[in-house]
Amino acid sequence: MTDTAAEPRLTSLAHGGGCGCKLAPSVLREILSEMPVGGGHADLIVDAATSDDAAVYRVSDEAAVAATTDFFMPIVDDPYDFGRIAATNAISDLYAMGAAPIFALALVGMPIGQLSTGTIRKILAGGRDVAEAAGAPIAGGHSIDSTEPIYGLVALGLVHPDRILMNSGARDGDVLILGKPLGIGIFSAALKKGLLPEADYRAMIDSTTRLNTPGAALAGMAGVHAVTDVTGFGLLGHLSEMCRGSGLAATVGADSVPVFEGARRLASDGVRTGASGRNWESIAGMVDAPGLDAPARDLLCDPQTSGGLLVACDPAQADKIMALFNEHGHENAAVIGRMQAGSPAIAVR
């Protein structure tokens, strides 16, 4: 197929889009409940046991390899932007571990016969350009003929074994910093319904293609105790993993969480994703949120595609870390809460 004018919209070919495609956390836990993780290998420093963002394998006293993979169906209709978003999202997992990206492999599944080779080429070009900007050239990959368009990366990076950032190291008294606003899932849902204004679309593209480069610098900073990136499970879902991994409770100030104004308006008008409801059901038992209305709950559980880093750090370092985010163009970063002693739970106030 070569006629792009006759092609369907990318999002019309997929039952879901972006990180909203992820399995619900409760379903994933059930599937993996009897699956062994990689324990027993001394040089496998990080495996799936703490639901972290990447696996890490020590290759020497000075170097470890971080490896991750992420792929999904289209969140937007522009093929180049779809490729950029998918690559940015995959590489984010490396930054969340404090790793510097080194190279990547492409994962490509396309409905041949429905999409032209030109459109597929644009998707791959978007991914290539982001990977090159991150210093991680795409060295190869694998492709299949699939019923829905799928694109993503296997991404690899390097990190010092003593500077790995995990989601399980938060300490009592740490403040929580979120690097990007919430609302990408709601924007995506509005786009599929033809309800997303152009200005909100541009804000969505700017956020989802902005690399989480502060992560590599955070690995060498004193007082940074835990990091993850907020993606398909929403802010509360990924914070719950940090709480469980660290054995701590968290308090979040609902009014302190950065949210796209357009997403807030759309949520108030009833626009939401199915994934936000599944995300809430998976963590509702550990969340105390009196007075939280449905739109606010949907935003806190909204599945983020290529979302921001969530950092738990010493309060004395918060200003320095906020300055780092700003230097890297993450101007909406904000302090949103605090970790404290207690059984793993989240209070939203």
Q: Which two tokens stand for residue 265?
A: 């308006």
Distance from C-alpha of 276 to C-alpha of 232, rounded to nearest angstrom: 9
- Residue 329: enclosing H or E segment and its boundaries? none
Whole-Å CA distances, 192 to 10, 11, 129: 10, 7, 26
CA distance 224 to 146: 42
Could you write out the three-class secondary structure of 245-291?
HHCCEEEECHHHCCECHHHHHHHHCCCCCHHHHHHHHHHHHHEECCC
Catalytic residue list contains 19: yes
Helices (H), ranges, the chain: 25-32, 79-96, 117-133, 184-192, 198-208, 214-218, 234-246, 261-268, 274-283, 294-300, 318-327
Active-site pick, 19, 243, 301, 313? 19
How far apart are the C-alpha atoms of 302 and 273, rounded to whole Å? 7
Residue type, 349: R
Give the other-Cβ count within 10 Å of 292's Cβ.
15
Q: What is the dihedral of CA 111, 203, 240, 213, to 10 degrees?
A: 90
Q: Which residues contact 6 (CB under 8 A, 6 or more apart)?
A: none
Task: Please give the radius of gyration of the chain, using alpha carbons only, rounded to the nearest integer.
Answer: 19
Residues with catalytic annotation? Answer: 19
